[in-house]
């Protein structure tokens, strides 16, 4: 039952990365990011019960508070303040984006990553899909034009790395886990402040329109 629910959550995580690629609305993208963080937190909670680890449970709760509640609030405030309704257009068209994602899935399942995907863990069948999630979120960061969506891309990458590490059994001490979550929180606050400054200066967050960096 636990194994099945972890496979289910890992698949859902991958699907949220695909949906983020297709979303154009900033607010919806933030909501999907919150849902994705909730999935990762849920995975950690399941792992914590399975391994009877209170440290992991605490870090999962901290993740839930920071990534599912606090950070989306920051992003929503930013969106409302700067009126960033549509700021997440991508370089590639939707069909091309989807074809690239499909190629990423093929790559993640190919012999290139065989050493990673054939690791002997309890959840070995979920490794290729977790790896596909990491590569697809890297692609999400590259493919999007808007600064906000690039930030969401990086945060998605971090979520996918956390889930991948959990699946292959890499868990850190509680202090380190909390430190990472704190780091991400501070980074997000700085990024939102930085975005506000960029918007004030250039009047846009579309990085293709920010052409006066020399000024």
* CB of residue 102 to another protein, shortest distance in Å: 5
Q: What minimum distance in Å lies between the beta carbon of 37 and another protein?
A: 19
d(CA 41, CA 193): 26
Interface map 154-193 toward another protein (x if CB under 8 A): ----------------------------------------
Under rule CB under 8 A, which residues in 121-140 are in contact with another protein? 123, 125-126, 128-129
Judged by beta carbon, residue 82 or residue 117, the one nearer another protein is 117
- The C-alpha torsion from 108 through 110 and 111 to 112, rounded to 10°, is -40
Alpha helices in 52-126 (DSSP H): 54-63, 71-82, 94-109, 114-117
Contacts within 8 Å (CB) and 24+ apart, 206-215? 206/87, 206/89, 206/145, 206/146, 207/145, 207/146, 207/147, 207/150, 208/145
CA distance 155 to 100: 20
Q: Is 86 helix (H, G, I), strand (E, B) or coil?
A: strand
Q: Tell the smallest beta-carbon distance from residue 39 to another protein (Å).
A: 13
Q: Which residues contact 150 (CB under 8 A, 6 or more apart)?
A: 141, 144, 207
Q: Does 120 bind another protein (CB under 8 A)?
A: no
Nearer to another protein, 70 or 103 (CB): 103
CB 34 within 8 A of CB 155: no
List 22, 58, 92, 207, residue binding another protein (CB under 8 A): 22
Stretch that binds another protein, among 39-47, 79-87, 91-99, 204-212 (CB under 8 A): 91-99
**Segment near another protein (CB under 8 A); pick from 46-54, 59-67, 96-104, 137-145:** 96-104
Interface positions with another protein (CB under 8 A):
3-4, 7-8, 10-12, 14-15, 18, 22, 93-95, 98-99, 101-102, 105-106, 109-110, 123, 125-126, 128-129
């Amino acid at each position: 039952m636990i194994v099945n629910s972890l496979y289910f959550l890992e698949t859902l995580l991958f699907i949220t990365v695909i949906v983020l690629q297709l979303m154009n609305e900033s607010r919806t993208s933030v909501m999907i990011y919150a849902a994705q963080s909730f999935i990762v937190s849920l995975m950690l909670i399941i792992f914590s019960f399975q391994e009877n680890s209170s440290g992991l449970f605490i870090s999962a709760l901290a993740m839930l508070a920071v990534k599912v509640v606090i950070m989306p609030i920051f992003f929503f405030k930013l969106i409302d303040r700067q009126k960033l309704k549509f700021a997440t257009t991508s370089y590639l068209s939707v069909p091309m984006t989807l074809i690239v994602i499909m190629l990423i899935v093929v790559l993640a399942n190919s012999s290139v990553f065989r050493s990673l995907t054939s690791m002997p863990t309890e959840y070995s069948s979920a490794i290729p899909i977790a790896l596909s999630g990491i590569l697809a979120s890297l692609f999400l960061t590259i493919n999007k034009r808007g600064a906000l969506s690039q930030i969401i891309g990086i945060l998605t990458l971090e979520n996918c790395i956390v889930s991948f590490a959990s699946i292959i059994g890499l868990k850190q001490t509680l202090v380190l886990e909390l430190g990472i979550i704190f780091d991400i929180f501070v980074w997000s606050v700085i990024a939102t402040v930085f975005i506000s400054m960029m918007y004030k200066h250039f009047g846009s967050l579309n990085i293709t329109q920010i052409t006066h960096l020399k000024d």
